[in-house]
Amino acid sequence: MIRSLITFTCVMLFAITANADELERSRIDLEAKKKVAISNAMVLSADQSDKFWDVYSDYERDSGRLTRQGFTLIREYSDKYKNNTITEESAASLIEAYFELEAHKVQLKRDYLPKFSEFLPAKKVFHFYQIDNKIDSLIRCDIAKKLPLIEPDMEF
């Protein structure tokens, strides 16, 4: 299942150059596949499951906002790269936006820790975050393989 998420991410990365509606459909499909992977990996009692999926739904909604911001940032970089319009200023802006996005992702995980911890033991919460991180890491790795690196001495 996780491998199919990675394959799907490749399609999403290429969809970055597509229209916004297509990208949104791809993002929704990715979130659904991620939910299935998490569902397969988590072992929850009936009571834990009901509570978990309620909180997870909120978590994924908030995480989805950050995912959209990330793909917007990737699209901006990709467009500038393809059009040879990366300036020192735009590079600095992209770096700052990336760091801000990463800080928001960490804060989101911190914000949801007490919510998950209300009804799950620490080991299960830790397990969830491991799964979530593994999926995100695989997606990020795949995106990193596909995005061209800027050369420090490139003149745009």
Residue 25: what pLDDT?
72
Residue 11: what pLDDT?
45
pLDDT band of residue 32 (cuts 50, 70, 90) is confident
Where do we find the tokens 């001495």? 153
Residue 139: what pLDDT?
82
Q: Which of 1, 147, 154 is nearest to 74 (CA)?
A: 147
What is the per-residue pLDDT across 116-156, written as a single tens digit (0 to 9) for each? 999 999 999 999 999 999 998 888 888 888 888 887 766 65
Residue 10: what pLDDT?
47
- Six-digit token pair at 39? 């569902």
Q: Which of 39, 20, 21 is nearest to 31 (CA)?
A: 39
- Is the pLDDT at 54 greater than 60, yes or no? yes
pLDDT band of residue 4 (cuts 50, 70, 90) is low
Residue 6: what pLDDT?
47
* Cβ proximity of 13 and 139 under 8 Å: no
Instruction: Residue 122: count other Cβ atoms within 10 Å of its Cβ.
Output: 10
What is the per-residue pLDDT across 59-115, written as a single tens digit (0 to 9) for each? 999 998 998 899 899 989 989 999 999 999 999 999 999 999 999 999 999 999 999
Residue 92: what pLDDT?
96
Q: Give the range with max mean pLDDT: 16-20, 22-26, 69-73.
A: 69-73
